Amino acid sequence: MNRKISLGAALAFVIIAAAVAVCVTMLVSRDTFNRKISNVEQQEQMYQKIQKIDEVVSDNSLYDVDGETLLNAIGQGVVSGIGDPYAVYYTSSQYQKLLDQQSGDAVGIGVSLQEDTSGDYAAVVQVYQDSPAESAGLRQGDLIVEVDGVSVRDLDLSQVSDALIGEKGTTVSLTYRRDGSDATVEITRRQYSQSSVTYQVVDGDIGYLRISSFEEDTPSQLNDALNDLQAQEVRGLVIDVRNNAGGDTNSCTQCLDQLLPEGVLGYSRSADGQRQILATSDASQIDLPMAVLVNENTASMAELFAAAIRDYDKGDLVGNTTYGKGVLQTLYPLDDGSAVQLTTAYFDPPASDNFDGAGLIPDYEVDLGRDQQATMGSVDGDDQLEKAVSVLRSSWL
């Protein structure tokens, strides 16, 4: 409930909030915070500035102050001001959604989106199995035109995605375009399993695996997919990590462990240059030629995944130069249900150089036309996949 906070109460609230949100949110503990800002005068100036702003707001603002909104704004402000481009402050509700996504369970309609060729609409690139979207008849390649009567031309892609997420049992009106014709459907949001691994046999005897992100259950999904593909006696694997923005470190290294021989899978490197092993692989491996599909949206752990496969000479990279995010984030939950994510180290591939700011240059540079974005994963409509299949076949000669 909104209410006007008195000057004294506001001062007390903000000082407490600052102590918790600044000290704990920024660097987890007061001792750590003081090591980072060792100058006592700087600390005092920070608290005095927050106090002065509160006095001005309390004495002069026309609007009521909502305590929760203020506390979240302090957390967001501190994180945005520390100079870390990948730092994120999550409110309690945002953090819970993140946990749901990482566990493979989500509430929404069950689609993955990207901008279409014109840049005006959101193209459906994946419809999750047994999701509300699948039940409603949505397909890969459909264009989202309106959400609840609002044109997606007035929204960016993240806003469109957020608009599809909501409370279980609520509905969203979706207008989509297919083959030049528009249709509107009401979809009820519910919980669904968000598979991060899909696979099929392409071109007769090639196993195609798409890993959309590295989540908690990705390694088990990959294991099931590999077992099935090997039972079908595929002669090679194309692993697609295009548009994969990364995810959980342990998930990524567990996936690599299934594919690669015994050895180091990567290193973490601190600001002072000290390196530690991220994870190692056992002797068990997949003895098949591989090719990894990458593009400009392949980032973070997905880049480490691709680099490790190449470092072990298990496969070539096909596609476009990757994003170039070779730094590691750590997530720190806070007592009030919120969380903060901070960049804490570099991560290096097993043998090659760190790719932060540079990306991975593919062995075979192949552009994908914008008209092919919605048909990724189809040999007949995906030049990068077609090239990867060709690379595998040439390795058998």
Q: pLDDT tens-digit profile of 228-245?
A: 999 999 999 999 999 888
Task: Provide the 10 A C-beta neighbour count for residue 337.
Answer: 13
Locate all alpha helices (DSSP H) within the chain, ordered by sequence. 7-17, 26-27, 30-36, 40-60, 67-80, 92-103, 132-135, 157-164, 218-231, 249-259, 301-311, 383-395
For 152, half-sphere exposure in the C-beta direction (CA atoms, 13 angstrom radius) is 29
Dist CA 233 CA 200 (whole Å): 12
Calculate mean pLDDT across residues 9-38.
45
Which has more confidence, 64 or 274? 274
Report the DSSP beta bridge partners of residue 181: 178
Calculate mean pLDDT across residues 52-69.
81
pLDDT of 23 above 80:
no
Dist CA 27 CA 62 (whole Å): 34
Q: What percent of the chain has pLDDT over 70?
A: 87
Strands (DSSP E) found in 79-215: 88-90, 105-108, 111-115, 122-127, 143-147, 150-151, 171-178, 181-188, 190-193, 197-202, 206-211
Dist CA 297 CA 317 (whole Å): 14
Locate all alpha helices (DSSP H) within 249-354, ordered by sequence. 249-259, 301-311
Give yes or no for a contact between 232 and 200, defined as CB atoms under 8 angstroms apart.
no
For 56, half-sphere exposure in the C-beta direction (CA atoms, 13 angstrom radius) is 6
Q: What pLDDT, on a 0 to 100 scale, did the predictor assign at position 39?
A: 66
pLDDT class of 375 with cuts at 50, 70, 90:
low
Lowest mean pLDDT of 36-50, 110-124, 326-340, name the range: 36-50
Give yes or no for a contact between 197 and 254, defined as CB atoms under 8 angstroms apart.
no
pLDDT of 220 above 50:
yes
What is the tens place of the pLDDT at every residue in 355-373? 999 999 999 999 987 667 6
Quickly tell me which residue has 């570099």 as its tokens.
Answer: 346
Dist CA 49 CA 41 (whole Å): 12
**Mean pLDDT value across the chain:** 84
pLDDT of 100 above 50:
yes
Q: What pLDDT, on a 0 to 100 scale, did the predictor assign at position 117?
A: 63
Calculate mean pLDDT across residues 6-20.
43
Dist CA 184 CA 201 (whole Å): 34
Q: What pLDDT, on a 0 to 100 scale, did the predictor assign at position 105?
A: 64
Most confident of 19-23, 73-77, 135-139, 393-397: 135-139
Which has more confidence, 234 or 92? 234
Dist CA 301 CA 241 (whole Å): 10
DSSP strand pairing (263-269 vs 197-202): unpaired
**DSSP summary character for residue 105:** E
What is the tens place of the pLDDT at every residue in 43-52? 788 788 888 8
Q: What pLDDT, on a 0 to 100 scale, did the predictor assign at position 370?
A: 64
pLDDT of 263 above 90:
yes
Q: Residue 209 burial (CB < 10 Å; 0-12/13-18/19+)?
A: buried
Task: Provide the 10 A C-beta neighbour count for residue 357.
Answer: 10
Dist CA 16 CA 22 (whole Å): 10
What is the tens place of the pLDDT at every residue in 268-321? 999 899 999 999 999 999 999 999 999 988 999 999 999 999 999 999 999 999
Residue type, 339: A
pLDDT of 397 above 70:
no
Helix (DSSP H) and strand (DSSP E) numbers for the chain: 12, 19
Long-range contacts of 150-157 (CB under 8 A, 24+ apart): 152/120, 152/121, 152/122, 153/120, 153/121, 157/113, 157/114, 157/115, 157/122
Q: What pLDDT, on a 0 to 100 scale, did the predictor assign at position 345?
A: 94
Task: Provide the 10 A C-beta neighbour count for residue 75.
Answer: 25
Residue type, 44: E
pLDDT of 206 above 50:
yes
Q: Residue 110 burial (CB < 10 Å; 0-12/13-18/19+)?
A: buried
Dist CA 131 CA 122 (whole Å): 18
**Tokens in use for 184?**
């509107």
Most confident of 69-73, 161-165, 231-235, 337-341: 231-235
Give yes or no for a contact between 107 and 189, defined as CB atoms under 8 angstroms apart.
yes
Q: What pLDDT, on a 0 to 100 scale, did the predictor assign at position 83?
A: 86
pLDDT of 2 above 50:
no
SS3 192: strand
Give yes or no for a contact between 9 and 69, defined as CB atoms under 8 angstroms apart.
no
DSSP strand pairing (364-365 vs 315-319): parallel
pLDDT of 17 above 70:
no
Which has more confidence, 275 or 130? 275
pLDDT of 79 above 70:
yes
Phi-psi region of 122 (alpha: psi -120 to 50; beta: other; left: phi over 0): beta
